[in-house]
Structure 1
């Protein structure tokens, strides 16, 4: 019997300034995925911090991509601070966690895969947004 390896659960974590348009988020996503040779079809879901629950650009992007968009509280994200490649004091002052994109990506990948996650694309900054990609086997 051959062992079938399942593809890793890949998720994108996003952070953005208020009013950031979906087009900006999409440009960042496309650029990051292309640079790291990851297909959009491989992405299972998007994640952010619950403070962005009503951010129209994020909601619109998830709808365009037909992907679930899940949110985490700053308390849920704070425990990932040791795994972040970039810790922002400004982000901490505003949100209670040191990095929204990386923390959210790690949190969602672990939640979906029920396994430890790691960052596959560290924090990418573009205009008004940040993005990170995490995966869990």
Structure 2
């Protein structure tokens, strides 16, 4: 069975039209894409996702396995039909070619092995648990055509094997930047594809009764004052006293609307909370006697971010990149999990 899954009403209309042309052994999923795909996954021979590639990759990544049980997966997006999994052995290349012909689009075939079927860019996005900013389908097409591709990896992430045409070529039409910061600027006029790995844990401390707008305003300082890409946030952390603080929860919901993937049914980054006795054991650069008296720990934002990041890092180093950015009733801190 071929399942077709659309991100919005316009794409769903296209999915219904495409289903009629692909034959009787098709179904069009109804409901939030993330949940429907996960529910139908084991029943599918092929899946066609009508959505941006980054969202499609994050939807299917938790379910891909190295055997023949996974369906072939094709993504229809921005004028391209891109093979995400299944390759030639799984039938995804043939299905993508058929869809491209029906819709008059350009097909981007898989160059991965028949076991995974992923293009190298999708492998990279999946490996880094990243958000994509830019036209990944067009960049993938250029890569497959053998064009020189410049790759900038200033943070030193481990990468999957890259084709020979990917390197530090000056004058390349495409530049790929892997970074959790906004600072990288390309001055030579090349097309830019930014891959934003989820490396950041943001600690939040707030007064009782704080408004969501106050929390959101201080969170925005991470971008405007410190140059961090807020799509790189992997988790938020705080003291357990704030687990149900309405203003904090509202701000995180707003954060997901603007920076997350809530539109495709994904949950926002988790709010991790810890008791005061746990946070009080964390060595921080900016302890506060006032916070100690009010909460039982000399630090909330810095300590929570450092503690949560260390737990998630699984032995990798972490660094405090934003120590204690303060508003009137809110304090935030950001910790990076290093490669």
* Cross-structure match for 2:333: 132
Query: Match for 1:16 among 180, 183, 206?
Result: 206
Greater share of residues in helix: 1
| Aligned-residue offset at 1:8 | 6.5
SS at match of 1:57: helix
- 1-structure distance, mates of 2:312, 2:238: 15
Alignment of 1:68-83 (within 5 A): 68-80=270-282, 82=283
CA distance in structure 1 between the aligned counterparts of 2:290 and 2:326, rounded to whole angstroms: 14
1:117 corresponds in structure 2 to 318
Contact 1:8 1:135 in 2 (8 A): no
Is the Cα contact below 8 Å between 2:198 and 2:234 reproduced in 1? no
- Say yes or no: does 1:27 pair with 2:217: yes
> What secondary structure is seen at the aligned counterpart in 2 of 1:19?
coil
Residue 51 of structure 1, aligned match among 218, 226, 241: 241
1:107 and 2:307 equivalent?
Answer: yes
Point out which structure has higher relative CO (alpha carbons under 8 A, 6+ apart): 1
Unaligned runs of 5+ in 1: none
- The answer on whether the counterparts of 2:221 and 2:325 sit within 8 Å (CA) in structure 1 is no
Give the length in aligned residue pairs.
133
**1:51 Cα deviation (Å)?**
1.0
Which position in structure 2 is the counterpart of 1:93?
293
- C-alpha distance in 2 between matches for 1:91 and 1:38: 26
Q: 1:133 offset after TM fit, Å?
A: 0.3
| Correspondence for 1:4 | 159
Q: CA RMSD in A?
A: 1.8
User: Runs of 4+ in structure 1 displaced over 3 angstroms?
Assistant: 5-8
**Unaligned residue ranges in structure 2 (runs of 5+):** 1-157, 161-177, 179-196, 257-267
> Which is greater in Rg?
2
Displacement, 1:71? 0.4
Q: State the distance in 2 between where 1:117 and 1:32 align.
A: 17
CA distance, structure 1, for counterparts of residue 198 and residue 213 of structure 2 = 27
